[in-house]
Chain A
Amino acid sequence: MGVVGTLIEAIHILFSWPVFGWMILGVLLGIVVGALPGIGAALGMAIVLPFTFPLDRISALVLLIGIYTGAMYGGSIAAILINTPGTGGAAATTFDGYPMTRKGLATTALSISATASAIGGGLSLLTLILISPLLIELVLLFGSPEYFLMAILGLSMITIVAKTSIVKGLVAGAFGMLLATIGIAPSTGESRYTFGLFALYDGLSFVAVLIGLFAISEMIKLAAEQSSIATNDLEMGGGITNGIKEVFYHPICTIKSGYIGMAIGAIPGAGASVANFIAYGEASRSSKNSDEFGTGCSEGVIASEASNSGTIGGSLIPTLSFGIPGSAATAVLLGGLIMHGLQPGPHLFKEELHITYSLFLAVLLGNIIILLTGILAITRMSYLTRINTNKIIPVVIVLAFLGGIALRTNWIDVITVLILGILGYYMVRNNYSIIAFVLGVILGPIAEENLLRSLQISGGSWNIFVTQPISFLLMILIVVILFGPFVKTALAKRS
């Protein structure tokens, strides 16, 4: 079946029941979790993940993608109304979104956000669908040595995108990989670090790890923070159609920001929280009204929102092609894929292409739902900002632990959620990247399997990682990424 035929099949799947219902539910849930400061896409998806077990895999993945898509828009609601971004991807939205609210244009700002998110996200996905045949060809060129090096490359990129000591980032990532060695060794079937406990033979559940790191540690952090929840009714001035028109009056800004988001989203670990600042900065630089940025300029909101939704398409590229998550949320999505028996790589672009296209189309359709929901429910959005986080935190913690026990009816998973949650909190507190840690846990088994297979192929010789052209290139990239910034600084100091 060709690409077009598979796309048509994917459309049939997406519009069938209950898949369509799960998608709508996912988007609406995503908008809510995105709007609640401190919650966000990754946490929302991590909590829901164990409860997708009874669903068929397409419904489960469409639900998760829906939450991801909805949260990218939802983060703008609190950003615009109370100057507190619901997600990291909406941080730059506060710069002009909140001033618009103060000018009595909250409805206009929310309408701009919904429209720009829909267009940015939609463009990114359409582009992804168009380039997917090229992606397939690229993925097929990769063998075991290349997959091993891609895992190391992914981890290396996290450490330089994150603002932390490079050694701290690598230690966090390597420690995550080390924990992933608990259980049965892939090559020999020998049990490692199980202490004779049958429950540990399958190793630590990476879903439990995700829940602990993204749910429990975030709730501990949220409990410690001063939350800027609105206590009074907000004045929702401005107009919906004015907001929609503003986006269409700035097509270059919208399209450019969407593609900036897509490009940044494809870099592992970068994600929406980086993309929205870069897109905002670029919009400010290139605008004829750059003086108005920061005072309630619609282009500022457009740039931030189009880019953060644009990251969705970009982040799916490394996730589906190589199993390297482009963001925290796609790390959870990857967990969902693996949990439902799907392996990232060529398989997803050949035998399971209809599932892959269903996911792409779910994001596309999700953006339309966001537009409709955003526009229809704009005047009621302020309610979300009045929810006290102390009502949400205990419920999320309960759901996290119930999710842990639901995975394998195994108290080891509950303890994993608890310990990793506390560990994750203290790691964040001391500037150790938990996304590097999560990546380590997810990539560790992939890296080990491909390392051992490569060494088997080469008869134990490590030259296999430098003698093939693509693997040699990847090695160079890893070295450049890790040491390049230091060499550049040293050369600059000398000159």
Chain B
Amino acid sequence: MDLKIPANSPVSGTDELLLLFLFFITSGYMYLEADSFDSTAALWPQMLAAFVLIGIVSLLIQNYLPEPLQRVVAESVSVIEVNGDAEMKESEEEITKNESSLFVVLTSITYIAVGYLIGLVWATPLFVAIYTAWFQLKWYIIIGLSTLTFVIAYTFMTFMHLPLDRGVIFGGI
């Protein structure tokens, strides 16, 4: 199958192909795994998984579909005509890929990983310090926010009895 993206496809870019691949793999797995369930328990997940799989395939091959089907797959329809971008908040404007968003993703993953290893209460000020330093905030803001978030995490640990000072390495969870 040629995965080159057709010019007028609603699927565009590596990002989206990866997203669809993730949906495809997950749905495919859930469809096949449901065969091991009781028929009643399998009905709904298999219906949904099949629907998602069909949807993904139709998005990928929309250029090869007959015109009426192509229109259904590719076109956006909005019954509420508005001026400007009146969508829900998630598509108010075009989101551009840049270093900052990637940085937030990577530091968030690292924050959770480090928090799991040593405890969130210790990982929190490190995360905030690295984040604010990267965005070149003033030194007293970096120290202030790191301290504030440490206090917040410590407060939650104390009052909500959460084991935030323990991780796999220290304290054992």
Contacts and interface: CB of A to CB of B under 8 A. Distances in A.
Interface residues of B, number: 87
A117 B49 CA distance: 43
Nearest to A427: B19
A221 B101 contact: yes
A174 B145 contact: no
Contacts, number: 267
Interface in A166-209: 166-168, 170-171, 174-175, 177-178, 181, 185, 187-188, 190, 192-193
B76 A91 contact: no
A425 B101 contact: yes
Interface string A51-70: 00010000000000000000
Given A162-B87, A435-B90, A451 B76 contact: no
Contacts of A430: 12-13, 15-16, 19
A160 interface: yes
B71 A167 contact: no
Contacts of B143: none
A190 B38 contact: yes
A395 B146 CA distance: 9
Contact of B82 (A190, A271, A278, A426): A278
B5 interface: no
Interface in A451-495: 451-452, 483, 485-486, 489-490
B98 A174 contact: no
A163 B78 contact: yes
A224 B100 contact: yes
A161 B79 contact: yes
A417 to B, nearest CB: 9
A224 B37 contact: no
A422 interface: yes
B63 interface: no
A38 to B, nearest CB: 9
Nearest to A429: B95
B42 to A, nearest CB: 9
A168 B101 contact: no
B19 A162 contact: no
B80 A274 contact: yes
24 contacts: A167-B59, A167-B72, A171-B23, A174-B52, A175-B26, A175-B52, A185-B37, A185-B38, A193-B33, A218-B89, A273-B87, A273-B92, A274-B82, A280-B83, A391-B145, A394-B128, A397-B131, A398-B149, A409-B163, A422-B109, A433-B88, A452-B40, A485-B79, A489-B75
Interface of B: 10, 12-13, 15-16, 18-19, 22-23, 26-27, 30, 33-34, 37-38, 40-41, 43-45, 48-49, 51-52, 55-56, 58-59, 68, 71-80, 82-93, 95-98, 100-101, 103-105, 108-109, 111-112, 115-116, 120, 124, 127-128, 131-132, 135, 137, 141, 145, 148-149, 152-153, 156, 160, 162-164, 173
Interface of A: 40, 42, 54, 87-88, 91-92, 160-168, 170-171, 174-175, 177-178, 181, 185, 187-188, 190, 192-193, 216-221, 223-225, 264, 269-271, 273-274, 276-278, 280-281, 327-328, 388, 390-391, 393-395, 397-399, 401-402, 405-406, 409, 411, 414-415, 418, 421-435, 444, 447-448, 451-452, 483, 485-486, 489-490
